[in-house]
Every structure is written in C-alpha cells, then in structure tokens.
Structure 1
C-alpha cells in the first residue's frame, strides 16, 4: 500500500510536488505570519526571499534554509517560483503585484489589496495582460467562529442590519514607521482593521449586494501617544524598514497623520444597513471584535478578538436571540492564527481554479470603493495615491 504524502490540516502535497513560493517583503507580516507557515506546510517550498534590507533577508534565509535571496522583485529570475507572496508595505502592494502579474507570475497579495480604485484597475489590467492569477489575503473569513456566525446568519431570514467592530485597547502599529504615515499606508485603522471587517461583512450580505451609500468619521486621539502603541510588534524594525523604503534611512521624529479610529455607516440597495467601527486604541480593557447580525427572524452575535494581540477576549462566544430567548451556539476551539493556516491549505486549489481569475480584484475593488467613500466624507481632502502608480502603467 502506498503511503500518502504528509498533510497539514488534511491538505496533501499537490500531485506535481510542492508549489515553489517566493516571499516578497519581510516586515512583520511576511516574517512572522507567512514565511514560517509556508516553510512548515508540505504543499509549499520556499525557494526565494526578496527584501531591500540585507540583514533582514539573510537572517530569514538562514532561519528557514531558503536557497536564494534578492534585494528587489525585478531580480527574481523567471521561473524561480510558481507563486509569489507579496507582503510589502501598503503603498507598494499594487505596484509590486502588478509588476509580477505582467510577467505572468501568480501572486498572493496581503491585505489591503489596493489603496484606491485606480490601483484596483491597475491590478485588473496586469492580471489580464500577464495571464496570471491574483489571489488575496483575507484572514477573517477563514476563522471557525466567523464561519459559524455565517451559518447562524443564514437562518435569520433577510438581513436588516449588521454591526461590526474591532476595538483595541492599545494597538497602534509601528509608530514612527510606514503604518502611521498616510502616504505609505493609505490610511489608518479603516484601511488596516476595516479591511478585515468589510471582508467579513460583505459576504454575509451576499456577493451581488450593492452598497448605495457610505459615510463616516475618523479621529486621531491616540495615534501619537506612545502608551497606545502595539506591544506585540517590533516598532523599531518596521520604522527602519520605512526608512529603507524612503531611501534615506531615517526613522525618528515622524508623527502619524492617519486616523486611529474610524466609524462608517453603509446602506445597501436592498435597504439593509451596516455600522463599522475600526479602532487601533481606546479606553477599553481588552481588544475585542464584535459582529451582530440582525435579521427578520432573529439576531446572532459573535464576540471574539481578531488578530494576534495577547490582550484579547479569553474565548469566542456566539449567541442567537429569538423571541426574547438568547442561547449560546457551539464553537470549535482553535489556536490563534489558525485562519492563516487555512488560507494556505486552500491556496493550491484556488491557484488551479479558473474561477479565481479576476475574483480577488473584483472583491478588492468593492472594498476599496467603500473605504474611499467613507474617507471622502470624513477627511477634508482625499489621500493622494498617484505616486504609487507613477511609472507602473507603462510596465
């Protein structure tokens, strides 16, 4: 009897052997989330790393025994990888992914997939031109508790309202680095946490649901308060990366010019409404995520904590309320970060599926359109994104 190949979460090695992967960008997400998981997953073989900082890429190369490392994505040889995971800073997401797609290289792109509708169009054009597929990172929808909420919501009849919030007690990321600079990040909590929230809510409303109105407000009471910074990340390392990307090596003295809190209100063409609250820092004791779905036949509420913060709700809780009675629904226990493993489990199938072509760009375009509309009502002026597209349209 033939011994089956090893598997993680029940996923075997693809018939043609492991998928060769290059990781571009070794900041916190690339270094701490994606690279270790890819290196441990039997369906993948990490063949190359790309990062502008020599010390960072060589340390990662040695730790995970990766054969090749390069300073720029253009140095990556043709045929070196079957898939490239792009985890560079936000303002480079679309530009780097488009360069790879035009070369015919499939890309798995960290969120936010794009920072403007123009960047979404750039990615769509690059995907068509190169004939390679773009896949998108979207962790929240792979959580077991979010899937259980979706199942519960399906039994509530027509959805009338969804209230979704991710509120951190303290969690401003990488103060002094690119996360808190609008020209490098595209925005603050709305782009960062709000992308996850919208990626969770929109499937609940249905793929064909049209958002007709989107308004909101933003504030920045904590973004430059050192006591509100995220303690589980590496601010110094990320600030150094931002300096390297600017080409001047500078890291100190910069103040954030993005929001730490955003609130939005959406209306759909079907008459449903959505309230979104994304918050990097607050006066709360714990970091929490809450999603309440109100339907014609009842209400379902999930209380948990997205992400990796250690200051979290101890256990996710899902409840359903009907006719004045609230009951707890069962949820499977899972370690923090399991949603990222599930994404990797699904990648080989998504990479091979013809239906994947264009799907990620369409979803990203819908999400960024909502974010842009909220920012237009909340900010005196729109963020400028043309610098990220400069020189890319003709590549």
Structure 2
C-alpha cells in the first residue's frame, strides 16, 4: 500500500526537492498540499491535479498516512506539534526545531498524540558519506573529526525569511551546520559536548554579489539580513573526541563549493572531499582517501546524480514508519543537534575560549 502523503509547504524545498521525488516513488502517493500563499497552492494543484489547503486544520488525519513539513524554519515545530497532536505521522526536514524548548514540546506531542515524528537531514544518506561512516570503525578509537562545508558564493537568499534570525533561527549554522552535525552522528554515534568555543561573522550576507545564483533568488536593492554567513567552532566531548566545524555561505578561499570531512583515529585517518547540496558550482566527483602508517589509499566511490540522497531518505522514512521501535529516535537526535547549535551561538556571543554546554544553554 502506498503512503498517502501531504506536502506542507510548497516553496523552493517542497517544489524542487520533495514533490518530484515523492511523485517518482512507488512507495508514496501525494494526496494534497498545505501552503498559506494562494499562488503556491495554485501552482501545486496545476502540477498535480490534487487539492491544496491554506492551513493544516483543513486536513483530516484519516485521509493521509504522512505529512512532510517543508515550511520556513520558524514554523517547523509549531506545525509538527499540531500534526502530531492529531495522530498523524510527521516528517520534518531540517532544522526540526530552533530551540531545546521546541524539542521538548515535540517530544511531548509525539508521546501524547500517537503519531510518530520522523526527521533528519539528507546528507547522511549519500553513498560517499555511508562509505566514510563504514570506514570509521576501521580507524581505531576516534580522536578528532573535522566538518567543513564552504560555498564560494552561496547565500541562499539575500532578503526574506532565510536570512532573518526571527524566521530562520540563525544563518549558516542552522542551514549547513545542521547537516554537518547530523553527519557527525552518523559517523561517531550520539555525541554530547562538554566544551564549546565558536565565532561567527556576517561579512557577505548583505552583499548581493554573494547570493546563490543557482537558487534564482531576486534580492532587493536594500538588504537587511541579521544572521551569520560563516561559523567556526571547536567542540569536545566528555571522553575526549574533538570536533572542528566550519560552515560558510560565502568563502574567499573557495573557488567552488566543497564539503570536506576528515576523521582521525588511533589506527589511521580518512578524508572525504565532496559537495553536499544542489549547487552546480561543485566538486566534479567525490574523493575518499585513507592513511594508515604513512600509506595512502584511494577508495572508489559510486557516482550518484545530484539529489539522490533525498530519494534514499524517503526510503528510510518508509522503513521507519513500518518500525514501531524507531519512535522517539528522531527527536532525540534533534535535541542533541539543536543543543550543540545553541552552545555554539552562545560561545560566539560571549567570546569565551571554552564554554560548558549546560552553561551555554542557560545563557541563550
């Protein structure tokens, strides 16, 4: 039986990422959409010949098996709570929530409403990331992981909700950083940080020359973004694993967009150099190398079309819907990631050399 799915949000993500993959999948049937904007609703109906509603209250839980939430960030938790309260299985694209308080609200709604919460970011479903994660177990005790995602020119929107702290929660840390922290957990498992140092900057976010042209955004002449375009962080767990994180929408050092993940273990190191996301300004092919005792070897990686990881994520959503034991795992992962993001922002604001995570959360 196909999973009857409602697409909540028909902006760029809903239109360009999710709808084509849902429609192409034999496991899903798109039955409706929800979007407050009349032109978006008209576009959805024209593309699918299915109804579109202005509000989730127009949905009947018995008419769908799954809601996929692809709305602006600040609406994710509120919409998901309403859907979960009605017992509807709900998948929320990243970021699942913007604060630890929102995470607790969603956990309570999942427990009380009956519908499972599903979430996560697609990057962990890439073939090259899965290959890297499999290699991690061969590197001995993990000592350090570097997570880098830099765009040469990639501010996703120079005006609008994406660069408004009130609506997006933050800038590149919530956008690219959430992906990196989720990939970290796919490599190292669940992690909690005892110490955090960070800095953020926004040198380019209000300059239209740094806009992501591939998104076809049309920035206004006067820009007023109040989020960071670059974050640099260093985090340490209680058992001594250190993590370097660097994410940037606009990097002077980059001639093209690149993601690099390096794992250092007691028995060797592995580096994946690739490019997450949809930017055409990317690495031509992913490269994975392993170094052991001074000897370097290259690992052959399968070629994947851009965006394949989103179809793979839908396969995982299908499997988790059929597995009652997966209930609660998504919100636990989101709780850890948003806690780390809160700590990074707090460390950046206070400019302390190191900051315990618990203290960071209290100062937000």
Q: Is this a same-fold pair by TM over 0.5?
A: yes
**In the alignment, what sits opposite 2:209?**
227
Equivalent in 129, 145, 157 of residue 162 of structure 1: 145
Post-superposition offset of 1:252: 7.5
Equivalent in 265, 285, 291 of residue 234 of structure 2: 265
* Native 8 Å contact 2:290 2:299 kept in 1: yes
**In the alignment, what sits opposite 1:377?**
347
Post-superposition offset of 1:40: 1.3
* Native 8 Å contact 1:169 1:281 kept in 2: yes
SS at match of 2:302: coil
- What pairs up with 1:72-87 in 2 under 5 angstroms? 72-87=55-70
Equivalent in 176, 190, 194 of residue 193 of structure 1: 176
Post-superposition offset of 1:380: 5.7
Deviations 1:272-299 (A, max 9, x none): 1000001001111010000000000111
- What pairs up with 1:329-348 in 2 under 5 angstroms? 329-348=299-318
| 1:256 is the counterpart of 2:225 | yes
* Native 8 Å contact 2:119 2:330 kept in 1: yes
**In the alignment, what sits opposite 2:4?**
20
- Report the Cα distance in structure 2 between the residues aligned to 1:277 and 1:39, rounded to whole angstroms: 35
- Report the Cα distance in structure 2 between the residues aligned to 1:357 and 1:210, rounded to whole angstroms: 21
- Report the Cα distance in structure 1 between the residues aligned to 2:229 and 2:350, rounded to whole angstroms: 17
- Report the Cα distance in structure 1 between the residues aligned to 2:93 and 2:345, rounded to whole angstroms: 21
Equivalent in 11, 18, 25 of residue 41 of structure 1: 25
- Report the Cα distance in structure 1 between the residues aligned to 2:290 and 2:116, rounded to whole angstroms: 39
SS at match of 1:334: coil
Alignment gaps of 5+ in structure 2: 352-359
Post-superposition offset of 1:135: 0.3
- Report the Cα distance in structure 2 between the residues aligned to 1:273 and 1:62, rounded to whole angstroms: 50
Post-superposition offset of 1:254: 4.5
SS at match of 2:277: coil
* Native 8 Å contact 1:28 1:234 kept in 2: no
Alignment gaps of 5+ in structure 1: 1-16, 240-250, 387-395
Deviations 1:105-126 (A, max 9, x none): 1101010001000000010011
Q: Structure 2-normalised TM-score? A: 0.94
Cα RMSD of the aligned pairs, angstroms, is 1.7
Post-superposition offset of 1:74: 1.3
Post-superposition offset of 1:202: 2.1
* Native 8 Å contact 1:50 1:73 kept in 2: yes
Structure 1's 48 and 375: CA in aligned 2 closer, same or farther, altered over 3 A?
A: same
- Report the Cα distance in structure 2 between the residues aligned to 1:234 and 1:57, rounded to whole angstroms: 20
Bigger mean CA offset, 303-312 vs 372-381: 372-381
Post-superposition offset of 1:253: 3.9
Post-superposition offset of 1:206: 2.3
SS at match of 1:235: coil
Q: Structure 1-normalised TM-score? A: 0.87
**In the alignment, what sits opposite 1:181?**
164
